[in-house]
Structures are given as C-alpha cells and as structure tokens.
Chain A
Amino acid sequence: MMGIIGDLLKGMGVTGRQMIATIFGDGMITTEYPKEFREKPDRFHGRHVLNRYEDGMEKCIGCELCAGACPARCIYVRGKENPADAPVSPGERFGFVYEINMLRCIFCALCVEACPTEAITMTHLFEMSTTNREDAIYTKTELLINEDGSANHMFPDDRLANLSELLQADGWMRATAPQGRVEYEGIPGWTPSAGVGLRPPEVGQSGDAAARDFTLPDDATSPEVQPDEEE
C-alpha cells in the first residue's frame, strides 16, 4: 500500500517539476507559431524546389529518375528535347512538365537522392495548407526557382507564408564529388546554384560549422572547386 502511494507521489513529482520548469524556467518546448518561427535544422525536409545553375539554366534534364525513385508515386515528369537555339538546360533534354502532388508526398527526399544533377532539392518551406486539392499539386511554375535563386511560393500573400525563407533555395543535400575528382570521393559537395553560387564542400554528413571548413588538397587547383567568393 505504502509502495503504491510512493509511486503515485513520484508520478506527481514528475509533472510538478515539469510545471515549475515550464512556468519559471526554460522548460517550455513549444513556441507560439506562427507568431514565432523556430530555427529549423539544416537538413529539414520541407517542400521541393527545382534549381537553376548560376547562369540561369535549369538543372533538370527530364530524366524521370526522381519519378522512378518516388515511393509515393507523386512525381510526374515529361522531358522534352532542348531547342538548339535557346536551350533550357545544359543536357539533351529538359523537364518540360514537372508536377509533384504534395498530398501524396511523404517528404522522404528519395527524389533528391535519385536526381543526377541536383535539380530537385528540398527547402525549409513547410506551410503548404490549401483549401482544395488542385492547389496541392505543385507544377513547374511553383517549383522552379527564380533567376535570383528565390523560391516561388504558391501563396505569397498568405498569412502563413514565411517570406524570409523564400530568399534562398538551400539545395542542401547529398552531392557526392560533383567535381569528379578522386580527392572528393565520399565527401559531399555542391554544384553551383543560382542565388547561392558554389558552396564550400563539406566533410561528412554532419558536424559543426568549423568542421565544414574543408581545406582543399594541394593539387586541387581546378577553378570550379574553389568556394565562390561572391556568396
């Protein structure tokens, strides 16, 4: 009997302590969204964007690998031959129709993994509520980033649109040795992207900011692997 009472008191002690920590200390773990926005983790899986190269060319080459990788089958891609006089992408073809049904997407980022050119990446944008199903299907209009690297928002005037997050499509994902050099084997790096330029390559998948300052090997002189000074 005494044991039971002791257990009960112990349980109440836990909630009591949490209450005091929440009221008087820093126990509170929720924030008053949307009044307050929380810093999101670097690799947060928000909604997708289609990236461009620095010169404005689209990265997507319409290969449909993302659509094939998608477990939710929510991507539809139709590629098209690049017009010879005004190519849209550096490859042979470009993504002519590109749709993602956000109602089905499970934000697993397998599409991002599959993409050979890092055309599709994920952002920190997550406010995607809509009032009808059509609006939940993102087409190329919404997905493709602008020339300055800012993402398109489906409802830029919406109360919930956090416009500060639109400014940089982060394109943050795996990208193994895009430079194609052996020194970078197994080290994530980036391709140059509009609005961001070329980011410094990184060591490892995580780690603190200092660890990301990867010093290039001595023979790494080819210009495209230098960190972009303008960013």
Chain B
Amino acid sequence: MDWWDVLLVVVRVVGVFALLMVVTVLLVWIERKLVADMQNRLGPMRAGPHGVLQTVADGLKLFFKEQITPAKSEFLIYMLAPALSVITAFLMFLVVPFARPFDITLGGEVRSFTFQAMDLNISVLYVLAISSIAVYAVVLAGWSSGSKYPLLGGVRATAQAISYEAAMGLSLVALIMFIAVQNRGGDVMSMASIVDFQAGTYGATDGFLSFLNPIITHIPKWFILPQVIPFVIFATAGVAETNRAPFDLVEAEQELVAGFHTEYSGMRFAMFFLAEYINMFTMSALMVTLFFGGWGGPFLDTIALNVGPWLATVVSFGYFMAKVFVFLFLFIWIRASFPRLRYDQLMDLGWKRLIPGALLWLIASSLALAIRQFGLPWT
C-alpha cells in the first residue's frame, strides 16, 4: 500500500460518484420521456434538445428552493434522513464492477485498475446490509416529519422492507450456494469473481443432448439460466426495495400525498429523489452482475489481445450499460403499466408467494446440488 494505491482508490470513488450522477440525470429524463411515450405524450421538450437538460433545470430549481422545516419535526433526524438515503444509495453501488479491469504501471509496479470502487469478499452480504440501512432513511424521514401522512408512509416502509428483504436474501442464498458448488475455493461472494465465473460459454456436452452442441457452446455461462426463479424473486423484491411502482405504497400519491417525503422540500427532497434513481440503477446493475454476466460479453478477450486492453474496457462498459439499460427500461415499463398494489396484496405477494417460493427453490436446489456431488444416498 503506497500513495499510488490511495490515489487509485480516490480516482475510483470519484469516478463512481460521477458515473452515478450522470446516470441519474439521464435516467430521470429517460424515464420521463419513456413514460410520456407510453402515454402518448411529448414529455419534456424545452430544456436542451428534446428536454435532455430538464433534470439539470429541475435540480437547480430545487437547489434554490427554501427548505421548509415543520414545527413538530425532530429536527436532527429530519435533517439527517435524506443524507442517509443518499449515502446508502452511493454506498450500495461501490461493490458493483462496471467494466473490465486493465493493468497499468504506476510507480514502477504493475497494478490492476479495477472499475469498482472496492471489492469486498462479502459483497453480497454487504449489499443486503446496506439495503436494510436504506430503509431506515425512509422510516426515519416519515417518523421525524411530525406529520401523519409521512408517518404512515414510514410504517408501510417498515413492513414492506421486512417482507421483501427476506425474499431477496433467500433468493441470493440459493444463488450463492450454486456458485459455491460450481467454483469451489473461489471468492463466491465477491462481485468481481462472480462476474469472472460467468465469463465464457457452456462447454460441449457428450450426453444425449450433444446434437445441440452448436447452440450450447454459444450460450454464455450466465447464472440466469440455472437460476431463473431466484432471478424473478430478486427482481420483484428489487422493485419493492427501491419503492417503485407498483410497490410504491411508501409514497402512494393518491393516498399519502407524497408519503414519507411529504414534508421535505428543496435540496432535502432532491436527495430522496436522487437516492431513488441511484437505487434503481444499482438494482439493475446488481441483477446484471449477479445473473447476466456483469460487464462480460463476446469478443472482449480478442479485442484486448489484438487492439488493446483499453478498448476492451470501453466495450465492456458498453455491454454493462446496455444490459443495465434493459432492466431500467423494464423498471420504467412496469411503472407505466401497472396500478399500485393494495396493501394486503403486497403482503400476500411477499409472504405467500415470494418467500415460500424462495424457500422451496432453496431446498430443491440444495438437494439437487447434494445429489450431484455425493450421489443418491442409497447408491
């Protein structure tokens, strides 16, 4: 560890911050445009070509707005809650690798420059932990506002978080178990190695399916194929975790004004807004990393070998963003299509479908993995 390492860490963190800010600005615009298209409207058109700068304009407006503090609020918590929500949103993205690492020589030493602010060997647990803390921001914001609608929003957030985080965690347990059996001895919970595990395609089989080999050898080894059910559960819980429609009971406009952030204005409101979009991006990035091969894609090694590692990095970043955008598009599409769930339906889906589904899958897949490893008990 020398000064170059410190510098690299700083560069990475600043880079991730910049990436998230740019993505948020674009994402808000893209969402407004797409929802407008789905509703036969124009959407923002004025600020910049086709309204691309609308988010910047809105941000500036919010920046100069008065920050109202309700008389009955718990001021310290009221003020800290938005900060907590933004901080957790940024923290969550830190472990996501978003491009192919390459080697650079600095200070006479070859170092690997990774596009990931930090690679924990418990990244998956870290993500779950941070996403639980993020719920506190919502709950505390609702409670400390000293007003009824936000409080209701906060209470709903608690119940929703408990129900969906359980399902999310369980779905990841099955995934991690699968990875651990496949890649014995690897860093099974580090995001960087999870991406590496998914590199390449399936090998040719010599079983009765061998006639499919021309196809099989072109299917990437992404975890989505063996783990469809955990993915569906993770994605559903992810939408619920980010409090987006149709699970946005926390800020249900029609019932709760604006839910937990009713009493917030100016920059404090903007922080919640920012956090929501960062979370949406992070959730999509996590789905891509855990189930769709992360930044991996075809020809990366060829490019790195023939043209240069830098181009492979750029291309891999393109792959990553393209995949993430597919999920962001889904997020937006779902929001534009479905009405909000009723509260009992939300609980129904969480406790009666997702959690039992995740548990069943966990049991079934552990049995399958055990049988594959040790054979049937009576043989």
Q: Out of A8, A23, A29, A31, which one reaches B338, CB within 8 Å?
A: A8
Q: A11-B337, A11-B338 are in contact. Are A18 and B38 (CB under 8 A)?
A: yes
Question: Do A16 and B40 have beta carbons less than 8 Å apart?
Answer: no
0/1 string, A1-45, CB within 8 A of B gives 1: 000000010011011101101110001111110000000000000
Cβ contacts under 8 Å, A30 to chain B: 40-42
Q: In the assembly, what is the distance between CA of A98 and CA of B333, in Å? A: 53
Q: Out of A14, A19, A32, which one reaches B37, CB within 8 Å?
A: A19
Most buried by B among A12, A19, A27: A19
Question: Do B39 and A16 have beta carbons less than 8 Å apart?
Answer: no
The answer, yes or no, to whether B336 is at the interface (CB within 8 Å) is yes
Question: Do A12 and B337 have beta carbons less than 8 Å apart?
Answer: yes
The answer, yes or no, to whether B334 is at the interface (CB within 8 Å) is yes
Q: What's the dominant secondary structure at chain B's contact region?
A: helix
0/1 string, B100-134, CB within 8 A of A gives 1: 00000000000000000000000000000000000
* Number of interface residues, chain B, beta carbon within 8 A: 14
CB distance from B152 to the nearest CB of A (A): 27
Question: Do A32 and B45 have beta carbons less than 8 Å apart?
Answer: yes
Q: In the assembly, what is the distance between CA of A21 and CA of B36, in Å? A: 12
Cβ contacts under 8 Å, B359 to chain A: none
CB distance from B341 to the nearest CB of A (A): 12
CB distance from B339 to the nearest CB of A (A): 9
Cβ contacts under 8 Å, A23 to chain B: 37
Cβ contacts under 8 Å, B37 to chain A: 18-19, 22-23
Q: Out of A11, A22, A32, which one reaches B40, CB within 8 Å?
A: A22
0/1 string, B179-200, CB within 8 A of A gives 1: 0000000000000000000000
Q: How many A-B residue pairs have CB under 8 A?
A: 40
Q: A8-B338, A32-B45 are in contact. Are A15 and B40 (CB under 8 A)?
A: no
Question: Do B40 and A29 have beta carbons less than 8 Å apart?
Answer: yes
Q: A8-B338, A19-B34 are in contact. Are A32 and B42 (CB under 8 A)?
A: yes
Cβ contacts under 8 Å, B337 to chain A: 8, 11-12, 14-15
CB distance from B330 to the nearest CB of A (A): 9
Q: A22-B37, A23-B37 are in contact. Are A15 and B336 (CB under 8 A)?
A: yes
Q: A8-B338, A11-B338, A32-B45 are in contact. Are A21 and B40 (CB under 8 A)?
A: yes
CB distance from B209 to the nearest CB of A (A): 27
CB distance from B168 to the nearest CB of A (A): 20
Q: Out of A15, A22, A31, which one reaches B333, CB within 8 Å?
A: A15
The residue on B at minimum CB distance from A16 is B333
Q: Out of A15, A29, A31, which one reaches B38, CB within 8 Å?
A: A15
The residue on B at minimum CB distance from A26 is B40
Cβ contacts under 8 Å, B39 to chain A: 18
Q: A12-B333, A15-B333 are in contact. Are A22 and B38 (CB under 8 A)?
A: yes
Cβ contacts under 8 Å, B45 to chain A: 32
Q: In the assembly, what is the distance between CA of A11 and CA of B39, in Å? A: 13
Q: In the assembly, what is the distance between CA of A31 and CA of B43, in Å? A: 10
Q: In the assembly, what is the distance between CA of A12 and CA of B329, in Å? A: 12
Most buried by A among B37, B41, B45: B37
Using a CB-CB cutoff of 8 Å, which residues 331-371 of chain B contact chain A? Answer: 333-334, 336-338
Q: In the assembly, what is the distance between CA of A22 and CA of B37, in Å? A: 6
Q: Out of B40, B334, B336, which one reaches A28, CB within 8 Å?
A: B40
7 pairs, A vs B, C-beta closer than 8 Å: A15-B333, A16-B333, A19-B37, A22-B38, A22-B40, A29-B41, A30-B42
Binding site for B on A (CB under 8 A): 8, 11-12, 14-16, 18-19, 21-23, 27-32
Binding site for A on B (CB under 8 A): 34, 36-42, 45, 333-334, 336-338
Given A28-B40, A28-B41, 8 other A-B residues pairs in contact with their CB atoms under 8 A? A11-B337, A15-B38, A16-B38, A19-B38, A22-B37, A22-B38, A28-B42, A32-B45
